[in-house]
Structure 1
Amino acid sequence: MLGTCGERPYADEGDADVTMVWGRAEQQDFRSRVRGCIVGGAVGDALGAGIEFDSLDRIRAAHGPAGVTDYVTAFGRRGAVTDDTQMTMFTVEGLVRAHVRRDTGDWHPPTDVHRAYLRWYATQNHWGPDERTPDSGWLAREEWLYSRRAPGGACLSGLEDDRMGTLDAPKNPGSKGCGTVMRSAPFGLLVGWEPALVFQLASECAVLTHGHPTGRLAAAAFAVIVHGVARGEDLETATRGALALVAGHTGHEETTAALEGALAAARSGPPTAERVESLGLGWVAEEALAIGLYCALVAEDVRHGLLLAVNHSGDSDSTGSVCGNLLGALHGETALPPAWVAELEGRGALLQLADDFAMEMTQGGELHGPGAVSDAWTARYPRS
């Protein structure tokens, strides 16, 4: 039975991933999908970063009738990522640390994700890492992350104090900005969990900053779609599964309409930027989800899908990120355009984080726990 944050419902259900039997082929496939999801989202984010606030007409005037077809300069360089990728990385780190900390008997993943987001918040307000806090882990010591990349107001205000938002007392109860969706793909990579628990966890972590029902339900639906494709489902089947879960929650109407709108648009003829804009502009959660999903559904390949996802008059980096997460989880890392991956900011850290996540989920028992402790691993992901 699923409960609220205060009831700590994860003690039994969360053990499902530990009991999975991972053969070598399954581990390799999983790692490829994790890499694809995390790096693919960052590539989509970077493609949209330089045009995030431009209209479609302005994009076409500056870059030609096709719009952008490659990285453009943002934040002083090509291939720069935004807060979308930053927060996604800290979501991954929080989930790894939650699994490591389970050995202590204190197993409540939303708490660990909240602490990870507080570490992200520090990167938005400090000049660089604080060497006086060694238990912050390796990710918080990555100096390149100490840079504001147009973070959303609700993400910042939701983390400006230590109080943890819950389903009963969410932060920013009126906000449904896309800041919940753009960071939630990693929950879907918990492939050993049941979809309902993935949905629950993504919901609880959305209300850490955004309390509107659509904000959390769109994030949860996105996580469940990623979960489905990471387990080998096609996108439409995974979306139907998310629709079924969303329908049981109060306030689901906007999220349901967005998902159904994306499916309908995919059947409505050749993809165009104008059809993308018919789904919204992506500034709010359900629109970012609908646009990213639609572009992934109609993508001829990863390149085509990502360019479609960023060339519109809205939140191009967030819709590109959502589309990249989906296509990467669906097809794996080798489907990503290599030139874009090569030029991506933070590529080394992204790959390291993805590999660490995959190793923790498939081989965590050999890294920590009774009779097996890697000091190097627990230094990277401290239990405290």
Structure 2
Amino acid sequence: MMPLWSRAQQQEFRSRVRGCLLGGAIGDALGAGIEFEPLEKIRAEHGERGVTGYVPAYGRRGAVTDDTQMTMWTVDGLIRAHISRDGGAWHPPSDVHRAYLRWYATQQDWGPDERRADLGWLGREEWLYARRAPGQACLSGLSGPDAERLGTVEEPRNPHSKGCGTVMRAAPFGLLTAWDPSLVFQLAVECSVLTHGHPTGYLAAGAFAVIVHSVARGGTLEEGVHLALALLSERPRHEETTAALRGALDAVRAGTPSAERVEELGEGWVAEEALAIGLYCALVAEDVRSGLLLAVNHSGDSDSTGSICGNLLGALHGETALPPELVAELEGRGTLLELADDFVLELLHGPDLHGSPAWAGRYPVPS
């Protein structure tokens, strides 16, 4: 439960949570239609500036990908973790793992299995039952005969994988603003190794969560980066992630932002590159729109870098700073807002909700 906050503080927190989830989804959707295209092709098809709004992907404009799907399931898992704590159980990675297994079901099934009592309201959203180019490590880490086994830092799933699928879903950990930053970092790490076991993968996720945490508490992006660097320095095999964050800071000082400067940071298919690109674009953004467009118009994993940038800018500025026409056309906007508001309700008023049959139906937890 949050400390006692004024009404204005609660409203600001709600705006930042909504901004983070919506902003990430908008960045994801902006990049979805150009994810696998080189920069020269993007410019040939859409003009020298590249895409300036949504382009069709997965049969519509404003479609989100696995990045937004898994971010939503992270939120679902965190809500259930807080409910479980009220009953005496407290191991958030287990709740997040179960949430990711529910996401995996949406990648296999045609629609909700009404025989499953654990789905909750999110698992009954039929539009989520769609494959949107999920990462192989996410799929393999949650499938097979030992899918129920919880990956740990000592024995992670996919120990050699550092794909960006570990970072693009980690923003919600940073929204636990009452937590100490070191605990936010650790939780993001422990939930990353459920599918990605390479140190760079899980440390990049921890760093990203801490940066989100910093801005969600009212700090600056730069403050978040320096805190993340300090926490990274305490971890073995942090060098790649540290170098990526320092590279993003150096790029800010290198001159006018451009797609070419973005591409100097990498393509974004691996965790540290996706984090560096998303962070750089957020740091140099004149406004949310310009930052998001810079984050997607490059050769590489455009939806993941757009998502990371959008999470950061949304948490920094709140939902009202998001481009309204992009909000209006976003797939799943209603679901995202409902989930964001439930997260806020749980963190601010959880004990008042836990006796409610309606809340238990929305977020059933193991007895």
Q: Mark yes or no: TM-score above 0.5.
A: yes
What does 1:66-105 align with in structure 2 at a 5 Å threshold? Answer: 66-105=49-88
AA partner of residue 206 (structure 2): A
- Equivalent position SS for 1:179: helix
Deviation at 1:21, TM superposition (A): 1.4
| Cα distance in 2 between the residues matched to 1:377 and 1:260 | 43
Q: How far did residue 135 of structure 1 move?
A: 2.5
Q: Which amino acid aligns with 1:195?
A: P
- Corresponding position of 1:5: none
- Say whether residues 1:293 and 2:279 are aligned partners: yes
Q: Which amino acid aligns with 2:55?
A: V
SS in 1 for 2:54: coil
Q: In the aligned structure 2, how far is the partner of 1:357 from the partner of 1:298?
A: 30
Mapped to 1, the partners of 2:5 and 2:108 lie a distance apart of 41
Out of 290, 308, 312, the position equivalent to 1:322 is 308
Is 2:295 the partner of 1:309? yes
Q: Does 1:273 align with 2:256?
A: no
Secondary structure of the equivalent of 2:344? helix
User: Deviations 1:236-293 (Å, cap 9, x if unpaired)?
Assistant: 0111000000111001000000000001101111100000000000000000000000
In 2: Cα distance, 1:103 partner to 1:360 partner:
11
What is the CA distance between 1:19 and its match in structure 2?
5.4
Unaligned runs of 5+ in 1: 1-17
Residue identity matched to 1:280: G
What is the rounded CA distance, in whole Å, between the counterparts of 1:358 and 1:103 in structure 2?
Answer: 16
Whole-Å separation in 2 of the counterparts to 1:168 and 1:256: 21
Deviation at 1:168, TM superposition (A): 0.9
* CA drift at 1:379: 0.8
2:227 pairs with 1:241: yes
The secondary structure found in structure 2 opposite 1:248 is coil
Aligned to 2:115: 132
Match of 1:365 among 339, 351, 357: 351
Task: Decide whether the 8 Å contact of 2:86 with 2:351 is kept in 1.
Answer: no
Cα distance change on mapping 1:52 and 1:19 into 2, 3 Å: closer
Find the counterpart in structure 2 of residue 284 from structure 1: 270
Selected match of 1:375 from 345, 351, 357: 357
Q: Output the amino acid matched with 2:365.
A: R
Q: In the alignment, which residue of structure 1 is the partner of 2:20?
A: 37
Aligned to 2:133: 150
Please point out which of 167, 172, 183 is paired with 1:186.
Answer: 172
Partner SS for 2:118: helix
- Paired with 2:259 and 2:53, the residues of 1 have a C-alpha distance of 16
> When the two structures are aligned, how many residues end up with a matched partner?
363
Secondary structure of 2:152 counterpart: coil
TM-score normalised per structure 2: 0.98
- Alignment RMSD: 0.6
> Cα distance 1:194–1:126, how it changes in 2: closer, same or farther (>3 A)?
same
